[in-house]
Amino acid sequence: MKELQRLLDRLIQRANINLREINYDATPVIQNLVPLRQMDKFYAFYGISNYHPLDLQFQHANLAGSYFLGKCRVASSLVYKSDVRGDELKKKGDVFKFQNFEIPITRDEGIDIEDSFLVKTLVHNFSHDPESLEWFFIKDTISTHYANIHGSPCDGCFLGPFATADLTTLRDCIIGAFSYVQAGEISHMSIKPGTIWVRSPGAFNFFYQYDRSRLEKYISYTTGSAPTGIFMEVAEACKEDFQNIFDRVHIEHPVAVPETASVDRYALVKGGTHISDNVLVAQRAFLDNAWMGKGANAQENCYIVNSRLEGNNVTAHGAKILDAELGKNVFVGFNSFLNGRPKTKLKIGEGCIIMPHTIIDAETPLAIPDGHLAWGMITGPADIKTNTISIKEFAAVSDHFSMGDLFFEGSGKAFVEAFEHRIQHILEANGAFCDGTCSLGHAQFNQKISFNTLQPYSEGDLKGLFPTITIRP
């Protein structure tokens, strides 16, 4: 295990060099993030299919429990139980539009993870950085439990548990626990835990800050310790059931899957679940007594329990829906937590947008009316008033707007259109609109993925490291 320890030391040093201005010390974080003895216990796996590019390179890395798809390079890194999904990368010949630029893509884009330590992290989408369109880089970066790195090249960053970097290039930044940042490009910033920040320079700025004392019950993180709170409890509750899924070569899910839908072989699906046409259930998603309407999806680390989704629902990476009924076209953003009760289901009306990192946790019956936008902490009727607004009304905001802990400036119309456009794109990409031959997306492409497994050395100096491996078509 000598070499693995040496790699860990290297990662500590690299993080500290990058974050020196913020006076960040990565030593206790990295030392306690994952016990070294866990690092040779789990296999990594990668997908092979006709519908995805295949260009993988792994070198001097531990990949325990992680999943790779597409074009991806990992060097001198620890990637632990993470999902690195290269199924939305740009292709050679594409043209990327940015402001007045039309930038040709000169080779297939790849995800490039170097000198980084990712734990239970989702890496997805593509680089939105006009300065680096062919490499979606993650360099000198530490990301912790259930963080999402979505279309966000990172260099020298720390992402706390359940943090999301979305369509943003980050350099030398700290993103606190459960913070969501979608801001184009940021550098040398330390984002406090529980910050929800959506910015489109020149168009709008959406900013919400969770009350830390109310947030602690859900997610609490102290440097050097494991994260705690309800989010972790939900996420880790079915660890053993998932282990069973990983311990078998062939999996039969106890549910009928239509020809136009796909349920990943590494998803965990329990009885009472219904899968309609064009549904996508990704790896590490958990469905128990879940009714998935046509075109609904459940992405990585989603938990949908005792709930009904009417159709064309996006359940973004890490969202949890328990005891809830969601109308058609409801969007539930990253890591949101919708927690109804068995006897008083939480109701989300048709066409609602639940902002990323929203908590709706209601002891009493709660309903969000059709066509509403919801954000932040909602635990009772009073919060509905301060933390939701009809999308129509919001679209009419032309200058600024504030309500409860939300501060918004700019064009509400631009904000709503950006979200609606994106939701449409997500549904499309996931194959929600597929008619069998047209508009194919992940739900259709993922049906025929084969998985290969990788194991590390089990003894000696190299214990825990994976061999150098290159895979091409």
Which residue shows structure tokens 């879940």? 290
247 binds a copy of itself (CB under 8 A): yes
Q: For 335-402, give the DSSP string.
A: T-EEE--SSS-EEE-TT-EE-TT-EEE-SS--EEPTTEEE-SEE-SHHHHHHHEEEHHHHHT--SEEE
Residue (43 or 135) nearer to a copy of itself, CB: 43
Which range touches a copy of itself (CB under 8 A), out of 61-69, 210-218, 386-394, 459-467? 459-467
Residue of 53, 65, 333, 456 that binds a copy of itself (CB under 8 A)? 456
Q: Which of 410, 368, 369, 381 is nearest to 207 (CA)?
A: 410
440 binds a copy of itself (CB under 8 A): no
| Tokens matching residue 430 | 């996931």
Residue of 13, 27, 31, 49 that binds a copy of itself (CB under 8 A)? 49
5 binds a copy of itself (CB under 8 A): no
187 binds a copy of itself (CB under 8 A): no
224 binds a copy of itself (CB under 8 A): no
Residue of 23, 100, 249, 254 that binds a copy of itself (CB under 8 A)? 249
Cβ contacts of 73 within 8 Å, gap of 6 or more: 56, 57, 58, 110, 111, 112, 113, 114
Which range touches a copy of itself (CB under 8 A), out of 164-172, 210-218, 434-442, 443-451? 443-451
Q: Which of 114, 41, 49, 113 is nearest to 83 (CA)?
A: 113
| Backbone CA torsion sign across 33, 36, 42, 45 | positive
Residue (43 or 162) nearer to a copy of itself, CB: 43
Cβ contacts of 224 within 8 Å, gap of 6 or more: 28, 29, 31, 32
454 binds a copy of itself (CB under 8 A): yes
338 binds a copy of itself (CB under 8 A): no
Give CA–CA dist 186/168, Å, rounded.
7
Q: How far is CA 379 from the centre of its chain?
A: 24
CB of 35 to a copy of itself, least distance (A): 19
Which residue shows structure tokens 């078509």? 473
38 binds a copy of itself (CB under 8 A): no
Residue 190: which H helix or E strand, with range? strand 190-191
Residue of 43, 96, 180, 266 that binds a copy of itself (CB under 8 A)? 43
Residue 105, Cβ density class (10 Å: 0-12 exposed, 13-18 middle, ≥19 buried)? middle
CB of 367 to a copy of itself, least distance (A): 44
Residue (334 or 466) nearer to a copy of itself, CB: 466
36 binds a copy of itself (CB under 8 A): no
Give CA–CA dist 261/167, Å, rounded.
27
23 binds a copy of itself (CB under 8 A): no
Q: ∠ at Cα 272 (268, 277), nearest 5°? A: 80
Which range touches a copy of itself (CB under 8 A), out of 64-72, 241-249, 341-349, 401-409? 241-249
CB of 41 to a copy of itself, least distance (A): 10
230 binds a copy of itself (CB under 8 A): no
75 binds a copy of itself (CB under 8 A): no
Residue (93 or 460) nearer to a copy of itself, CB: 460
Residue (97 or 248) nearer to a copy of itself, CB: 248
Query: Hey, how many other C-beta atoms are within 10 angstroms of the C-beta on 238?
Result: 17
Residue of 5, 106, 223, 468 that binds a copy of itself (CB under 8 A)? 468
Q: How far apart are the first and last CA of the chain?
A: 33
DSSP annotation of 466 reads B
CB of 471 to a copy of itself, least distance (A): 5
| Tokens matching residue 415 | 């904000």
Residue of 99, 250, 254, 271 that binds a copy of itself (CB under 8 A)? 250
Residue (246 or 407) nearer to a copy of itself, CB: 246
Tell me which amino acid residue 4 is: L
Binding site for a copy of itself (CB under 8 A): 43, 48-50, 54, 246-250, 448-462, 467-473
